[in-house]
Structure 1
Amino acid sequence: MRPLGTAAATSFLATLLLFLHLTASFPSNDMSNLSNCNHNLSCGSLTDITHPFTGAQRPPDCGPQEFQLTCNIVDSVTTFMFKSLPYQVTRVNQTSQTLRLSRLDFYDDLPCTHLSSSTTFDNDIFSLGSNNKNLTLFYGCKNLGGFVEEKFKFSCPVPGDLEEGFFKVGDPSGLPSTGWCRTSFQVPFLRSKAHQLEAEGSSLLGEVLREGFDVRYSDPYSADCQTCSKHSGTQCGFDAKPICICNDLLCPVPGPGVSLASGAVLVIFVGCWITVVKQVKKRKSALVQSQGLPVVTPTSTNFFRATPSLANLKSDLDKGSTYLGVRVFSYNELEEATNCFDSSKELGDGGFGTVYYG
């Protein structure tokens, strides 16, 4: 195999470094256009909603999946799914990081539903706000008698009949748990409505359920997104993990593995360069030997003594003449022209030492 020349080796190494930069700067899924991530989400009464939420004008790649909202373009209602239950989003406060939600499974402005799951927000991302209070809804009840006041009772239509139910604000303890109602579950509502609801009863229940309750949220990736702030005008997106978006493309932000890759390339670079330098020295040595001249080191104190033919050359150089058709200056001439090799006349370093002008 023919060894690489200096220019070829340099070109190869430059190409390798460029390839490393490109592969380190962008994820493997080749997301090429993220221009919509600089848009805010607006749907109906909700406007200017930004990261971490996605939906409507903001594609899913602009934020974590947990914060995906859906805008119904027909009635401009924003919905949110959590634990398989649908909720309507009526308010988003990104300063206090709260959502105002109401269950969408209640119908006909009544506390009637085909679902019987309690509303719970109890993970690291979503939790119920402290300004809520629970109420318990009971369905398919019989023989309520004097257990429940009339104002707390309601009816829900079922095929061919009406199903009786009731609600209780707060702790449902003290009521029979089985045998007299088909099912029951809990729903939060705003604490500020508690006294009014207990006073007016079921006539206000539908309105209270539609008004909803507050949920606190926390973006678990916010610290990672803060690294994007060093880029001017950067948006934070999401692709299995937070990504930084510059204009409509991914910012060249290396990941943790890039440092190791860069180190490996540096080692390869140094190794290749040493190999090239050695090849160049071998070629020069071979060239000198092919001309019948011994290979010597320029720093040897016996350089001219050990080589008679070169000693004659030194004599010619000292006298000042021509060598192979090229004008050769004597040492005295060089010393005078450079003002005794004054450092202010240095131009730089050449292949055989310092270069002066004079």
Structure 2
Amino acid sequence: MRPHLLLAISCFILFITIIFVSGSTPVFSADEERYLNCRNLFDCGNIKGIGYPFSGSNRPDYCGYPGFELNCSNQDPEITIIQSTYRVLGINKQSRTLNVARTDYTENLCPTLLFNTTLNPNLLSYTKDAHNITIYYGCPTQGSPTSHFLTQFPCSINTTEMTGYFTATTDFSLLESCANSVIVPVRESAYEQIMKDATVAKLLGAIGQGFGLEWKANDTLCDTCNSSGGQCGYNQTTKAFACYCADQPRDFNCLPSPPSQSTKETSNPDSLKIGLSTAGTVVCVFLGCWIVTIIQRKRRKAALLKSKDIPVATPPSSKRLATSTNLSQTIPAITSSKSDINKGSTYFGVRVFSYNELEEATSYFDSSKELGDGGFGTVYYGVLRDGRAVAVKRLYENNLRRAEQFMNEIEILAHLRHTNLVTLHGCTSRHGRELLLVYEYIPNGTVSDHLHGKQSNAGLLTWPVRMSIAIETACALAYLHSSDVIHRDVKTNNILLDNDFHVKVADFGLSRLFPTDVTHVSTAPQGTPGYVDPEYFQCYQLTDRSDVYSFGVVLIELISALEAVDTNRHRHDINLSIMAVNKIQNQALNELVDPFLGFDKDFVVRKMVTSVAELAFRCLQQQREMRPTMVEVLEILRRIEKENYGAEKAHVLDTREDDSGLLKHPPPALELSPDSE
């Protein structure tokens, strides 16, 4: 050991000892900084003293809850709810309510875009004094209204002149032929005034007064955290509530430190200094003995080698595993590491859970906690011992094929990090009782649920939300392809949604690593009926364009809200992709579009849906060379979203006119792809 190195080590130890003995630290830790930042309330516009669950201005995101970010650039703060902007007129911490008003009805009743007031029920709900006012647009002129509760007004939207009505009651047959309707909530006091005298001025005044919303953002946990001296926040890594304490963040509350630590250290500072000094001395002695031992070993080894005249060998360089285009040959590369699953607490960098811990987290796999049932296993809701909410996938059987899918998904997800990909928290042992995978819990179901499942009647998937889902899904797939991964099971059941309707692509059991130096991988077709690439099915050649085809089916689902395969439809329309191609070629796109979107009534929606349908048509070409890449798909979707269709003249068109711009050259006949499972 060189003398100057020993001196440096000694000085470092002395410096650390002095800092400890002095009882101070030069800077705040990140944990302390979060505690201090979240302790301070903030002002936003004309609203003062705002705290959890809100963030904005100089208050960091981790001090609030997702969905409660405030824009403080105006006198009245603004909040975005389901991609719509509202003015925040007041916040009541005690009742956990806020008063908001729509920004598009501040001056007149004729906004550029028409949309209903919709909420995320997991975060917000109307207060009891909220009442709905329905505003109708594009109605036939009926002369003077015959009802006291029905008020007529002229309207001009995108230079299109129309007649509108509004009413605080329901069941007006006169209004059934109107082109559009919008539901706007108002407070009960304002509602009563409109019932007495329904004028445009009073309606605008009522909308301007706003309406009440109750929020839900782990408030009970926040109360527990605050009562223990902590500050409420949100952990962006674990996607869960966090209680920031003076020393470190915790899950629920700031538990008091053991007496041997905080209490004794505070009450007896002299003993603290003595203890730390003693500990420093012990460390110095130990380090000195260790250095002496190393020096002696090196001297003995050098003397031994010199006496035997043996040259010192250099360690062999590590060999890189060759990449094979035959997927079956990649299994040894995975299984060679599977023994690591029992050697420690991580596998490919993810945590290994015991079966008992996950059994406990899911209440012994209680059927009431089932989140979904797929082709490979059942997914359960669970809560870990540290308080994190998770989704636990329980594979149906523990055989060689399931084990391969199990390890494949772990290996792929362990090395991928993207905001639109589900996070893998851990797994069980490959040789354990059952094969279990632990993911972050995504609370808002799947895109399939919202399009044609148990949540389809909620009406939350407006066209802007569907467009956002398409873009974020394409972003995730483009990232996978850039990482040499093919998903191979892209479908709306595998696209999860969080509380803000942001996308999390899931289920990588069938995914494959794709070598960059090959054009395709030969493997038996696997996937879900209605989504499988027909060329892959026919030629057994998997490429990144196979995902593009499946994504094309997803785009059609977003447009139509129809299932990819439905045996109740006409036999020529059982396969959605075939039906969509036929409709587009026959310039009958309007027959395919979900009526909820207002395709025949809303000019902007009509133009955007038509453009997305054209892109889907390209993705659904049978020959893979005819399909765009996912990067190109993403660029086109972003361009469609940014296009200022509202600036165009919104005149009434034949419902078939815009379809003429779609591709008209028919691709070869598409085939229904069976599920190899």
SS in 2 for 1:105: helix
Could you say if the C-alpha distance between residues 230 and 158 of structure 1 is closer, same or farther in structure 2, counting changes exceeding 3 Å? closer
Cα RMSD over matched residues? 2.7
Contact 2:225/2:252 (8 A) holds in 1:
no
SS in 1 for 2:67: helix
2:181 aligned partner: 184
2:569 aligned partner: none
Q: What are the equivalent positions in structure 2 for 1:238-257 lying under 5 Å apart?
A: 238-239=234-235, 240-247=239-246, 250-251=248-249
Gap runs ≥5 in structure 1: 1-29, 256-358
Contact 2:145/2:152 (8 A) holds in 1:
no
Q: Post-superposition shift, 1:253?
A: 6.8
Higher helix share: 2
Q: What are the equivalent positions in structure 2 for 1:140-179 lying under 5 Å apart?
A: 140-147=138-145, 152-160=151-159, 162-170=161-169, 172-179=170-177
1:104 aligned partner: 103
C-alpha distance in structure 1 between counterparts of 2:167 and 2:209, whole Å: 18
Q: Post-superposition shift, 1:59?
A: 1.0
Could you say if the C-alpha distance between residues 70 and 100 of structure 1 is closer, same or farther in structure 2, counting changes exceeding 3 Å? same
- Deviation string 1:99-146 (CA, Å, 9 cap, x unpaired) is 111111225x11221232211336133111111111100112222224
Q: What are the equivalent positions in structure 2 for 1:1-358 lying under 5 Å apart?
A: 33-34=33-34, 35-72=36-73, 75-107=74-106, 109-121=107-119, 123-147=121-145, 152-160=151-159, 162-170=161-169, 172-179=170-177, 181-198=178-195, 199-219=197-217, 221-229=218-226, 231-232=228-229, 234-239=230-235, 240-247=239-246, 250-251=248-249
Contact 1:54/1:69 (8 A) holds in 2:
yes
SS in 2 for 1:66: coil
SS in 1 for 2:244: strand
Larger Rg: 1
Contact 1:152/1:168 (8 A) holds in 2:
yes
C-alpha distance in structure 2 between counterparts of 1:254 and 1:98, whole Å: 23
> What is the one-letter code of the residue matched to 1:245?
Y
1:322 aligned partner: none
Contact 1:81/1:87 (8 A) holds in 2:
yes
SS in 2 for 1:110: coil
Contact 1:39/1:57 (8 A) holds in 2:
no
Q: Post-superposition shift, 1:245?
A: 2.1
> What is the one-letter code of the residue matched to 1:224?
L
Contact 1:118/1:185 (8 A) holds in 2:
yes
Could you say if the C-alpha distance between residues 114 and 31 of structure 1 is closer, same or farther in structure 2, counting changes exceeding 3 Å? farther
C-alpha distance in structure 1 between counterparts of 2:151 and 2:77, whole Å: 31
C-alpha distance in structure 1 between counterparts of 2:220 and 2:242, whole Å: 12
Q: Post-superposition shift, 1:235?
A: 1.1
Contact 1:36/1:57 (8 A) holds in 2:
no
C-alpha distance in structure 2 between counterparts of 1:190 and 1:49, whole Å: 23
C-alpha distance in structure 2 between counterparts of 1:254 and 1:84, whole Å: 31
Aligned length: 218
C-alpha distance in structure 1 between counterparts of 2:62 and 2:160, whole Å: 48
Gap runs ≥5 in structure 2: 1-29, 254-677
Q: Post-superposition shift, 1:168?
A: 0.3
C-alpha distance in structure 1 between counterparts of 2:171 and 2:32, whole Å: 58
Contact 1:122/1:128 (8 A) holds in 2:
no
C-alpha distance in structure 2 between counterparts of 1:254 and 1:211, whole Å: 37
C-alpha distance in structure 1 between counterparts of 2:147 and 2:108, whole Å: 18
- Deviation string 1:228-283 (CA, Å, 9 cap, x unpaired) is 34754x21211122222235x6346799xxxxxxxxxxxxxxxxxxxxxxxxxxxx
Contact 2:82/2:120 (8 A) holds in 1:
no
Contact 1:53/1:63 (8 A) holds in 2:
yes
Q: Post-superposition shift, 1:185?
A: 1.6
Q: Post-superposition shift, 1:92?
A: 0.6
C-alpha distance in structure 2 between counterparts of 1:252 and 1:174, whole Å: 56
> What is the one-letter code of the residue matched to 1:56?
S
C-alpha distance in structure 2 between counterparts of 1:140 and 1:254, whole Å: 53
SS in 2 for 1:196: helix
Contact 1:110/1:205 (8 A) holds in 2:
no
C-alpha distance in structure 2 between counterparts of 1:112 and 1:131, whole Å: 26
Q: Post-superposition shift, 1:90?
A: 0.1
SS in 1 for 2:43: strand
> What is the one-letter code of the residue matched to 1:237?
G
Higher strand share: 1
Could you say if the C-alpha distance between residues 153 and 231 of structure 1 is closer, same or farther in structure 2, counting changes exceeding 3 Å? same
Could you say if the C-alpha distance between residues 147 and 226 of structure 1 is closer, same or farther in structure 2, counting changes exceeding 3 Å? closer
Contact 1:80/1:89 (8 A) holds in 2:
yes
Contact 1:235/1:245 (8 A) holds in 2:
yes
Contact 1:235/1:246 (8 A) holds in 2:
yes
- Deviation string 1:179-210 (CA, Å, 9 cap, x unpaired) is 3x220021110111123223141121211111
- Deviation string 1:15-52 (CA, Å, 9 cap, x unpaired) is xxxxxxxxxxxxxxx76732321221212221111112
Could you say if the C-alpha distance between residues 110 and 60 of structure 1 is closer, same or farther in structure 2, counting changes exceeding 3 Å? same
Contact 1:101/1:214 (8 A) holds in 2:
yes
SS in 1 for 2:33: coil
C-alpha distance in structure 2 between counterparts of 1:129 and 1:231, whole Å: 30
SS in 1 for 2:139: coil
C-alpha distance in structure 2 between counterparts of 1:102 and 1:147, whole Å: 28
Contact 2:100/2:210 (8 A) holds in 1:
yes
C-alpha distance in structure 1 between counterparts of 2:204 and 2:245, whole Å: 47
Q: Post-superposition shift, 1:77?
A: 2.4
Q: Percent identity of the aligned residues?
A: 25
Could you say if the C-alpha distance between residues 174 and 252 of structure 1 is closer, same or farther in structure 2, counting changes exceeding 3 Å? closer
